Chains A and B, each alone.
Chain A
Amino acid sequence: MKYFLVMAFGLSLFGCTIKEKPLPIFGERNVVGTDTVYHSIAHFEFVDQDSSVVTNETFKDKIYIADFFFTSCRTICPIMKTQMKRVYDTIQNKQDVLLLSHSIDPEYDTVALLHDFAERLGVESKKWHFVTGEKDSIYKIAQTSYFATAMEDKTEPDGFIHSGAFLLIDKYGRIRGKYDGTKEEDVNRLIGDIERLRSN
């Protein structure tokens, strides 16, 4: 019995150490006085599939996963959307987790088109925001805030190059993980990391 208790105690300690290991915080950090200031997502303002304005405030006290895509893309986006739908299915009942997909072809991807897209995918707009806006603002926030590539390139088959990354953002707007949204194993890791982030 004694041995059992010792073992149980040991295991519980072991359990704690695994649980407490935090996810990394991406990007530059500056020390201001005694505080460390981490890279965080800059201010943004876009419009989603319901014509609602979506800003950083929308994600206040929420964890969210961001990506960049466009609806007419037939290369990596359908795979990304298949994978993001898997993430959606796991977070559907978690009040503190949202999804944010930016269109990098905002001229074509109008609100009406994004609305149709989300509806056909069968997802709720309050849980998964598909946003459009000023092209330059979207490209800028992709590059400078999310460290994701997004730009026009007429030589590409569908006219754009963009990364297939999913970015995990914490409640303070900091990037806590980057995953390849075209790879099932990587998205499984993301699904696990969402839980890790929620529990600490």
Chain B
Amino acid sequence: MLVLKIGLRLQVPGSNLLALSLWLAACSLLFNCTTQDHKQATKFEQYYVQGQVLYLTHCSNCHQKQGAGLGLLYPPLNKSDFMDTRFEEVICLIKNGRQGELFVNGKQYNKPMKGVPSLTELEIAEISTYIYNTWDHHRGIVEVKVVASALATCPD
């Protein structure tokens, strides 16, 4: 089990995965995890890994693999007060895109972003789990039902 976790760490480097592995290791060694916890951890890993694949397909051209964005054209995701405070809007713009000005970390961005309407709720949950648990973010899994209720709040 420990070997498997180390392998995973090597495949996808990132401090969050390190933290996750450590957490999982601590969890299984010290607290003797229940099957339920294991299931949840596996689900998180599945969402995270799949989310990374989707991120690299749909998002990283502009927002960059390391989430740094580009100048004032594409806002960063690796450290973003917009992501921290406006979760529902982030879910909506992944699907529907967004026009007009937007402030991230005090800087103004104003390029239209096209959404990806073909994404399913599960896929949005996976992308969100990835971006919200990488770089500076430690939100935990983003469940499909959370995505569904956020999407219900999107402006037309």
In the complex the two chains form, what is the Cα distance from A15 to B67 in whole Å? 41
Q: Which of B62, B72, B112, B114 contacts A120 (CB 8 A)?
A: B72
Q: How far is the CB of B119 from chain A (nearest CB, A)?
A: 14
A192 at the interface (CB under 8 A from B): no
Q: How far is the CB of A183 from chain B (nearest CB, A)?
A: 14
B82 at the interface (CB under 8 A from A): no
Q: Which of A79, A116, A120 contacts B61 (CB 8 A)?
A: A79
Q: Which of B70, B72, B110 contacts A78 (CB 8 A)?
A: B70
Q: How far is the CB of B68 from chain A (nearest CB, A)?
A: 10
Number of residues of chain B lying within 8 A (CB) of chain A: 13
The closest CB in chain A to the CB of B59 belongs to: A74
Instruction: Give residues 55-81 of B contacting A (CB, 8 Å).
Output: 61-62, 64, 70-74
Per-residue interface assignment for chain A, residues 108 to 125, with 1 indicating a CB less than 8 Å from any chain B CB and 0 otherwise = 000000001101111000
List of A residues within 8 angstroms of B71 by Cβ: 85, 120-122
B38 at the interface (CB under 8 A from A): no
In the complex the two chains form, what is the Cα distance from A71 to B111 in whole Å? 9
Instruction: Give residues 6-60 of B contacting A (CB, 8 Å).
Output: none
The closest CB in chain A to the CB of B58 belongs to: A74
Per-residue interface assignment for chain A, residues 84 to 124, with 1 indicating a CB less than 8 Å from any chain B CB and 0 otherwise = 01000000000000000000000000000000110111100
The closest CB in chain A to the CB of B64 belongs to: A82
In the complex the two chains form, what is the Cα distance from A74 to B74 in whole Å? 11
List of B residues within 8 angstroms of A42 by Cβ: none
A36 at the interface (CB under 8 A from B): no
Contact A121 B73, beta carbon cutoff 8 Å:
yes
List of A residues within 8 angstroms of B64 by Cβ: 82
Contact A122 B72, beta carbon cutoff 8 Å:
yes
Q: How far is the CB of A66 from chain B (nearest CB, A)?
A: 20
A81 at the interface (CB under 8 A from B): yes
List of A residues within 8 angstroms of B110 by Cβ: 116
A79-B61, A82-B64 as given contacts; A74 in contact with B72, CB under 8 Å: no
A12 at the interface (CB under 8 A from B): no
In the complex the two chains form, what is the Cα distance from A20 to B51 in whole Å? 49
In the complex the two chains form, what is the Cα distance from A97 to B109 in whole Å? 30
List of A residues within 8 angstroms of B112 by Cβ: 72
Q: Which of A74, A76, A81 contacts B114 (CB 8 A)?
A: A74
List of A residues within 8 angstroms of B74 by Cβ: 78
Chain B interface (Cβ < 8 Å from any Cβ of A): 61-62, 64, 70-74, 109-112, 114
Q: A71-B111, A78-B61 are in contact. List 17 more A-B contacts (CB 8 A).
A: A72-B112, A74-B61, A75-B61, A78-B62, A78-B73, A81-B73, A82-B64, A82-B70, A85-B70, A117-B73, A120-B71, A120-B72, A120-B111, A121-B70, A121-B71, A121-B73, A122-B72
30 contacts between A and B (CB under 8 A): A72-B112, A74-B62, A74-B114, A75-B61, A76-B61, A78-B61, A78-B62, A78-B70, A78-B73, A78-B74, A79-B61, A81-B70, A81-B73, A82-B64, A82-B70, A85-B70, A85-B71, A116-B110, A117-B73, A119-B72, A120-B71, A120-B72, A120-B109, A120-B111, A121-B70, A121-B71, A121-B72, A121-B73, A122-B71, A122-B72
**CB-CB nearest 5 A-B residue pairs:** A120-B72, A78-B62, A121-B71, A78-B61, A120-B73
